[in-house]
Structure 1
């Protein structure tokens, strides 16, 4: 089985597609799931909106133009950005409803093309110069497909109902909310989320992740008035200075006693020439917090800081949230201990309360399940990495996909009898 998983992972590694542009990826997933016997749900039926951080029409059309997809079914809604897929399996036997989610999008990153990088040496490097699977989502999809296959093949021996989400747009925390805002994830009894790598080596399993930060991804635009910088600078309204003032002041904000917080402005642009008072400027930023309340506070203060800078320089402004993720609202320690005990009994080397120290919008699924009275858990599958996540030399130990598969199927077998 491992060699089949490796072959599948390497195929998906060659066709990475960023958030909301996972056209070929979605079609490939659907066809493989149909071949297993699933009635696959896709397109508008699996999205309730908002599709946060949605690409421009120009970006979507450019990606469409480079695609040559012979799907064998109508993919018009997929090509409009309704990407991802959902499959369900009802065994017909009394038992719990168990949900799983696997993310499918890639990073906006040019993959390293040098010898010594395994995808280069072994012929499965990205064929998309604008994207790369640098966060193991190619591995996550592979695990999800093989778990789906196992469920279908063993359905006569299983109990209850199963739902698997292949979620688009995890990068930037954009896709989960749109899927959760549907009827598909109501009344789930148990939910499993997972991630390969992060901060654990191969052989270690993190049970009950903590430190999954709430987050908000924010785009800011400032619009003033351009003018000749020598002849009549007084006629200009300098949007770049307003942006600079806002950025400097924003970085004084993360001092909050309620828990850990983060703020980063990662992109800033403005101006058109050295002799022109810049009439337009923009920047992209994010905030993170250990609790949702921290992020809400940072969003509020971001708006205030940007508004203050805009007033100072007499420019207009727009603040837009383009991605979001929640903190885990319910840490069910009793359930975590139960799964930890199960995995230890099967010989796994587990670590409790492993710190994730990043954001992951799988928390929308987890919190929805908790609100409905179910139980959820996030697992980290340790993996030796060639370079860190989101690095152009990222690669993981492919053998850990089989470990993840075995852990998930073992956990399902246990939970179905509860």
Structure 2
């Protein structure tokens, strides 16, 4: 079996058996089996799921990272290796990322004696709920690491295309829940109540004005209300409505300004309507900030490996890799996967042609980073 086909087979097996964040037990077992079978060392870290492998010797340590969890999505891609777990799918391509880093591990193992240090390959659990990177760091898997590199497939780029940028790349991700409490009433006698739905609707409209009227148009910011829940029948005005949504920014001052404005609007509407409005704020992963040196280095290696390279646009999605980059320097990159459907779509179907090339790229990147560092 060719190297390319082996990686594709592994990817397809992972794709058929997806597991949600923190539940990647079978995925972990498969990865451990494949890595151990290839002769990789598997240092023991206190992780309930996820695997860490290592190759080489010496004091210098460079890390590579893949994510391994899936999403609560029912697959509709139509591929003959579709998910066998109902309601769970690798709709973000973490199966692809894992196969890429498996390939890099195998290539590095082939010339382990020539490596000027160690490469630690981290197969991280729970990226989708933003808890995995913190668990990996707490377990000690970054100890001694001087730089770390990771990837995400990019369905909007052709296979053979590479993109990254120095500085802010992926966004800070915050989640908010707003609970509006008015007074219920018969739908035919609204004047006897305090319509929580009317208030919630106007609040949604006001929230959309934050990005366009309170923040400079030169800044990147998104405020999205993604869930509205209230009422349980057609002829009753409900007493309460709950809104949920997300805020995406790249600069901490803008993040703080948006949160402040949301709270001000909620307080103002509560006063104006004689209602109660409660805002709960959940801070997600911070902005992913690539080290300028390592982003430029990663791009040069990509060019040498045969990729068509470009500077990536800022990304409004979140990425747990950001937590690593607050601890040690490194770079996160995009590799083209040419899928008709985007990330988190039930028909997402990345082109497997990217896998072998990306594996060879990361093996080369890790080896050259050991020399550069």
TM-score by length of 1: 0.77
Equivalent of 1:273 in 229, 233, 238: 233
Pick closer, same or farther for the CA change 1:245–1:182 going to 2, 3 Å.
Answer: farther
Pick closer, same or farther for the CA change 1:129–1:86 going to 2, 3 Å.
Answer: closer
SS in 2 for 1:357: coil
Pick closer, same or farther for the CA change 1:187–1:39 going to 2, 3 Å.
Answer: closer
Pick closer, same or farther for the CA change 1:189–1:201 going to 2, 3 Å.
Answer: same
In structure 2, stretches of 5+ residues that fail to align are none
Equivalent of 1:264 in 202, 217, 224: 224
Equivalent of 2:301 in 324, 342, 352: 342
Count residues with an aligned counterpart. Answer: 364
Task: Output the CA distance in 2 between the equivalents of 1:250 and 1:172.
Answer: 25
> Cα distance, 1:220 vs. partner?
0.9
> Cα distance, 1:130 vs. partner?
1.6
Residues 136-145 or 218-227, more deviating = 218-227
Pick closer, same or farther for the CA change 1:315–1:410 going to 2, 3 Å.
Answer: same
Equivalent of 1:416 in 358, 370, 373: 370
Q: Please give the residue correspondences for 1:70-149 in structure 2 after superposition, counting only pairs within 5 Å.
A: 78=48, 84-89=49-54, 91-94=56-59, 96-112=60-76, 117=78, 119=79, 123-149=80-106
Equivalent of 1:319 in 280, 285, 289: 280
Q: In the alignment, is residue 286 of structure 1 matched against residue 250 of structure 2?
A: no
- Is the 8 Å Cα contact of residues 88 and 161 (structure 1) preserved in structure 2? no
In structure 1, stretches of 5+ residues that fail to align are 47-77, 79-83, 371-375
SS in 1 for 2:66: strand
What's the counterpart of residue 215 of structure 1? 172
> Cα distance, 1:326 vs. partner?
1.5
What's the counterpart of residue 113 of structure 2? 156
Q: Please give the residue correspondences for 1:197-208 in structure 2 after superposition, counting only pairs within 5 Å.
A: 197-208=154-165
Q: In the alignment, is residue 166 of structure 1 matched against residue 126 of structure 2?
A: no
Pick closer, same or farther for the CA change 1:233–1:215 going to 2, 3 Å.
Answer: same
What's the counterpart of residue 325 of structure 2? 366
Task: Output the CA distance in 1 between the equivalents of 2:185 and 2:288.
Answer: 48
> Cα distance, 1:264 vs. partner?
1.0
Task: Output the CA distance in 2 between the equivalents of 1:135 and 1:166.
Answer: 15
Task: Output the CA distance in 1 between the equivalents of 2:237 and 2:302.
Answer: 63
SS in 1 for 2:211: coil
For 1:55-82, what per-residue CA distance to the aligned partner results, in whole angstroms no more than 9, with x for missing partners?
A: xxxxxxxxxxxxxxxxxxxxxxx4xxxx
TM-score by length of 2: 0.85
What's the counterpart of residue 349 of structure 2? 395
Task: Output the CA distance in 2 between the equivalents of 1:161 and 1:106.
Answer: 29
- Is the 8 Å Cα contact of residues 383 and 400 (structure 1) preserved in structure 2? yes
Task: Output the CA distance in 1 between the equivalents of 2:169 and 2:258.
Answer: 17
- Is the 8 Å Cα contact of residues 20 and 168 (structure 1) preserved in structure 2? yes
Residues 155-164 or 307-316, more deviating = 307-316
What's the counterpart of residue 13 of structure 2? 11
What CA RMSD, in Å, does the superposition of the two structures yield over aligned residues?
2.9
Pick closer, same or farther for the CA change 1:88–1:127 going to 2, 3 Å.
Answer: closer
Task: Output the CA distance in 1 between the equivalents of 2:296 and 2:277.
Answer: 53
- Is the 8 Å Cα contact of residues 310 and 317 (structure 1) preserved in structure 2? no
> Cα distance, 1:221 vs. partner?
4.4
> Cα distance, 1:239 vs. partner?
4.1
Task: Output the CA distance in 2 between the equivalents of 1:136 and 1:209.
Answer: 24
Pick closer, same or farther for the CA change 1:365–1:218 going to 2, 3 Å.
Answer: same
- Is the 8 Å Cα contact of residues 103 and 141 (structure 1) preserved in structure 2? yes
SS in 2 for 1:141: helix
Task: Output the CA distance in 1 between the equivalents of 2:198 and 2:182.
Answer: 12
- Is the 8 Å Cα contact of residues 219 and 282 (structure 1) preserved in structure 2? no
Task: Output the CA distance in 2 between the equivalents of 1:177 and 1:292.
Answer: 20
Pick closer, same or farther for the CA change 1:103–1:289 going to 2, 3 Å.
Answer: same
SS in 2 for 1:246: helix
